[in-house]
């Protein structure tokens, strides 16, 4: 059974009225005291020296803007597809790579190239991926080369570097990687290229693979080559160096 509320009697009303009158009287006295006091002056506001000059520099002292060849942001802000290395002589477009449309690849299609595509897709979105330019070529009957330029939002260079590093991290493994440390791509910083161990299966031709992974600014670059005959280090290194020069 619920307890009943205790009724409020006459004594309660008297105490409440006295409290209200006490508050009102105290407030009035406080305003009166404050009104009789002289105004207190405000402290002076201090302002540090400005970080930029008070006057604009003369025209002959203004530094020239960086040329496009030195300003990576200018180079990558335009059509990213133009930074893809041109197709070498003797190669043709690989129409079999249907996920590439007019030089572009959707982020979800790029994520499908990874084992855990759902995780990678979410990871790319969290890293603020911007766009993916791609191309695919073929030469002779079996040699194929695929190139991806994966760009993250301007100024988020660490995302491109992190993506490249995550791909290089497992390359020394035998199961998923190339089984070796690879070789450095000259002038790329931490970029490397790899030759995989040949894969042989009964009833199939042998499969050879080479891969290069590096980044430049906010663009991560991945290059893969496949063939049924051995791929030389020179083949993958030359292609990687040419792509690096474009960036």
Q: Where are the alpha helices (DSSP H) in 51-176?
A: 72-77, 107-111, 117-126, 157-169
Q: Is 115 within 8 Å of 175 (Cβ atoms)?
A: no
Residues 6+ apart with CB under 8 A from 129: 107, 150, 151, 152, 153, 159
Q: Is 208 within 8 Å of 196 (Cβ atoms)?
A: yes
Tens digits of pLDDT across the chain (247 residues):
333 323 334 333 333 334 444 444 555 445 555 656 666 666 555 555 555 556 666 766 666 655 555 545 555 678 999 999 999 999 999 988 889 999 999 999 999 999 899 999 999 999 999 999 999 999 988 999 999 999 998 665 689 999 999 999 999 999 889 999 999 999 999 999 999 999 999 999 999 999 999 999 999 999 999 999 999 999 999 999 999 999 9
The predicted pLDDT at position 127 comes to 93
Q: What is the CA radius of gyration of the chain?
A: 34
pTM: 0.70
**Domains in the chain, start-ordered, CATH in brackets?**
72-246 (3.40.1000)
Q: Which two tokens stand for residue 160?
A: 């491109």
């Amino acid at each position: 059974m619920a307890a009943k509320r205790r009724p409020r009697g006459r004594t309660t009303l008297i105490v409440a009225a006295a409290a209200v009158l006490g508050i009102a009287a105290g407030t009035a006295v406080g305003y009166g005291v404050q009104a009789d006091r002289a105004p207190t002056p405000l402290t002076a506001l201090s302002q540090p020296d400005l970080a930029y000059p008070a006057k604009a520099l003369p025209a002959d002292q203004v530094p020239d803007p960086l040329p496009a060849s030195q300003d990576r942001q200018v180079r990558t802000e335009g059509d990213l597809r133009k930074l893809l290395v041109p197709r070498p002589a003797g190669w043709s477009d690989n129409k079999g790579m249907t996920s590439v449309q007019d030089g572009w690849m959707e982020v979800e299609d790029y994520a499908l190239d990874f084992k855990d595509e759902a995780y990678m897709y979410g990871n790319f979105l969290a890293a603020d991926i911007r766009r993916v330019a791609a191309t695919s070529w073929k030469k002779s009957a079996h040699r194929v080369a695929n190139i991806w330029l994966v760009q993250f939002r301007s100024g988020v260079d660490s995302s491109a570097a992190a993506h490249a590093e995550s791909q290089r991290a497992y390359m020394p493994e035998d199961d998923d990687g190339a089984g070796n440390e690879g070789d450095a791509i000259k002038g790329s910083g931490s970029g490397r290229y790899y030759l995989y161990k040949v894969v042989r299966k009964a009833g199939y031709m042998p499969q050879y693979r080479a891969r290069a992974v590096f980044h430049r600014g906010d663009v991560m670059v991945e290059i893969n080559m496949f063939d049924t005959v051995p791929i030389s280090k020179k083949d993958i290194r030359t292609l990687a160096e040419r792509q690096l020069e474009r960036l």
